[in-house]
Chain A
């Protein structure tokens, strides 16, 4: 019995051992099979299940104006795609999708019945459309986020900004020129995921990804708006073919505004003709006409061959020159050099050109930057046409003297005149002020760049004086004069070449005006070019008034105060120091020509009593003093008291009370 039990026990032990052994053997074999034989295949399968490939689209950089206002930005919006094999009721889907997306159901059907497993229905749609489609609850219609470019100011600076396409690539303007910087780098990396498909964090491959950088432009949104609004109005009024206005800082070459007509809205660029996208300021060339004369005057004066009072006989309006007849708009006899500029005599200019000589003139034309690209950071810039001096015909010097026979871009012209305005330095124009990377660090900062000195400061100042004469009473550009400011400018009316006859057209003109303000301390230069205006085509009639409108508004916008002409009177000092002091100024009438400037004079403080705040501030403005205003109403008290000797740097206070109090 005992032995039997022992045998049974032994048998059971052996059995268990065998079971364990065979189990371990089986595990080992399976382990070997999985870990060694099928290792690569299983590893691959596990990797596929546990990892997910993610493609991260970078954010396209923003574009700001000089004051930090957004001009272009990107926002993620939904794109709609279909997986046709998952759609149950195709007819229902087609009818409803076509209705919401406003497309042709047959077109939709064509794309849906194809064998593709993925079909774009519409990309970058507005949120309301997304909601409508979501409500349809169609299986197989999915959404994916994609960045869409928005230009919040609509048409504003459209030609400069350009636009980017569906794949977020720049197609025009700044968007195209700085595309590499704006677009960033796409990220393709692998993230882990758990059993239910949730993403797990991973840094793998993230180093190569970065968002696009931002650009800060030299452009001023306010000035751009002023320019665009005024230009549009004028182009509509004159039924012109187009127009361009450029506003530039002459001291630095920074572009403050560039406007073109016709314009377009970059948010919906596909609904415009491609010709509307053209930034005429840099892509179109034209014969400048008389706006080119400042270059001739500068060259002639720099070479010392003319003086302001030299006389030129203007042939009573008709001058036969190398078998061609040159005309003036009005008949002039003898004109001084100054008056040749003022009245814009073509005959006078031709004679000055003859005196200067074609070789010398050509050098100046090239030095002022004509015939070469300015190098502005915009795509599609053209260089214009200035033929080599060796190929100039006899008549070419004459026509070039009044800006015909050579072609320039609007940008070249404004840069050349800015060189006169800033004292003789040709500046390189630029549009981007700063480049800020995705981490917020400034990676590039543009500084003003002098291309070359073209004329001396003395000559520049003499040319400015000539250009001021143009804007004064009797000058061709008198309509550009702005009360309270010194304006320098030059009008231009150029005949266009008729492409059919290859001759100068008699009814197609380019009217232009180029100038800067204030003439003694230029803050900005403006070029106005109106292409084929209907009616009176003269630059002084069409472009000069637009210059005035734009310049006045910009001066106002920038807070540049007018400078009242000081009328020197012997009695001035006495009048100010004596008669106004101590007498209440209740019936004060502000006199425009009165010199309130106290600089360098010992005088007495006036009596403000009874004056309004506006009147006191006007006096303060003219006296160039800062007055502290206390209260409101009319002046009742002041510190220092009336009659006190004026001391510069002293604090002034005037107390006001309402009249009824």
Chain B
């Protein structure tokens, strides 16, 4: 008895149910499409990101040895300049210039005054 009643009701309410399902299906399709597009975009952008990072890594693989080379060159230049400065600062050279070229002499006793520094 109850089963028959239910069957009748559902038949009566069919058109309404159909319309609801149709709307639902449309929304579902939209959602699926959205997810699909989003997924594709994500996969695409992920792939792009991956490729970009790989490219960047490869570029850095080239860049780092270049920079290391440059650093070594600059350090060498620095060492050379330090060496040149040390050579120019040699006491022997300075003394020969001071005495020979500039005619300077070592001050005699009494020509120098040690200033008391207060300590």
Contacts and interface: CB of A to CB of B under 8 A. Distances in A.
Given A74-B79, A201-B64, A154 B116 contact: no
A304 interface: no
B116 A625 contact: yes
Contact of A152 (B76, B87, B116): B87
A152 B115 contact: no
A485 B48 CA distance: 83
A201 B57 CA distance: 10
Contacts of B117: 626
Interface residues on B, range: 20 to 34
Contacts of B116: 620-621, 623-626
Contacts of B112: 556
Interface stretch (A191-199, A350-358, A519-527, A537-545): A191-199
A618 B109 CA distance: 12
B115 A617 contact: yes
Interface stretch (B9-17, B19-27, B28-36, B89-97): B89-97
A156 interface: yes
Contacts of A70: 82-83, 86
Interface string A597-635: 000000000000000001001101101111000000000
Interface residues of A, number: 36
B79 A201 contact: no
Contacts of A74: 79
A222 B76 contact: no
A154 B114 contact: no
A225 interface: yes
A618 B65 CA distance: 63
B92 A225 contact: yes
Interface string A227-254: 0010000000000000000000000000
A199 B80 contact: no
B61 interface: yes
A69 interface: yes
Nearest to B64: A201
Contacts of B62: 194, 198, 200-201
A186 to B, nearest CB: 16
A75 B113 contact: no
B103 interface: no
Given A70-B83, A75-B76, A152-B86, A191 B65 contact: yes
A523 to B, nearest CB: 14
Contact of A156 (B60, B61, B63, B90): B90
B61 A200 contact: yes
A521 to B, nearest CB: 14
Contacts, number: 74
B10 to A, nearest CB: 50
Contacts of A201: 60-65, 68
Given A70-B86, A221-B91, A483 B109 contact: yes
A73 interface: yes
A73 B76 contact: no
A221 B60 CA distance: 46
B118 interface: yes
Interface in A60-87: 69-70, 73-76
A75 B80 contact: yes
A233 B4 CA distance: 134
Nearest to A153: B90
Given A154-B92, A225-B92, A626-B118, A621 B83 contact: no
A430 to B, nearest CB: 24
Nearest to A613: B113
Nearest to B72: A76
B109 A152 contact: no
Decide if the interface of chain B is mainly helix, strand, loop or mixed.
helix
A609 B66 CA distance: 70
B56 to A, nearest CB: 13
Contacts of A559: 114
Given A221-B91, A222-B91, A73 B83 contact: yes
Contact of A561 (B60, B87, B114): B114
Contacts of A221: 91
Contacts of A152: 83, 86-87, 90
Contacts of A191: 65
Contact of B115 (A483, A484, A621): A621
Given A614-B113, A617-B115, A75 B90 contact: no
A150 interface: yes
A152 B79 CA distance: 12
A150 B83 contact: yes
B63 to A, nearest CB: 8
B114 A225 contact: no
A81 B62 CA distance: 29
Contacts of A198: 62, 65
A614 B62 CA distance: 66
B114 A621 contact: yes
B91 A621 contact: no
A369 B69 CA distance: 53
A75 B72 CA distance: 11
- Residue picked from B60, B86, B89, most chain A C-beta under 10 Å: B86
A618 B64 CA distance: 63
A199 B115 CA distance: 62
Contacts of B61: 192, 200-201
B37 to A, nearest CB: 33
A485 to B, nearest CB: 11
A59 B68 CA distance: 15
Interface string B50-80: 0000000000111111001000000010011
A626 B114 CA distance: 11
Contacts of A199: 65
A618 B86 contact: no
Contacts of B90: 152-154, 156
Contacts of A624: 116
Interface in A137-158: 150, 152-154, 156
A484 B113 CA distance: 13
Which 6 pairs from chain A and chain B are nearest by CB?
A201-B64, A152-B86, A561-B114, A225-B91, A70-B86, A200-B61
10 contacts: A70-B86, A74-B79, A76-B76, A150-B83, A152-B86, A154-B90, A201-B61, A225-B91, A624-B116, A625-B116
Given A73-B82, A626-B116, 18 more contacts: A69-B86, A74-B79, A75-B83, A76-B76, A152-B87, A153-B86, A153-B87, A154-B90, A156-B92, A198-B62, A200-B62, A200-B65, A201-B62, A201-B63, A222-B91, A621-B114, A624-B116, A626-B117
Interface of A: 69-70, 73-76, 150, 152-154, 156, 191-192, 194, 198-201, 221-222, 225, 229, 483-484, 556, 559, 561, 614, 617-618, 620-621, 623-626
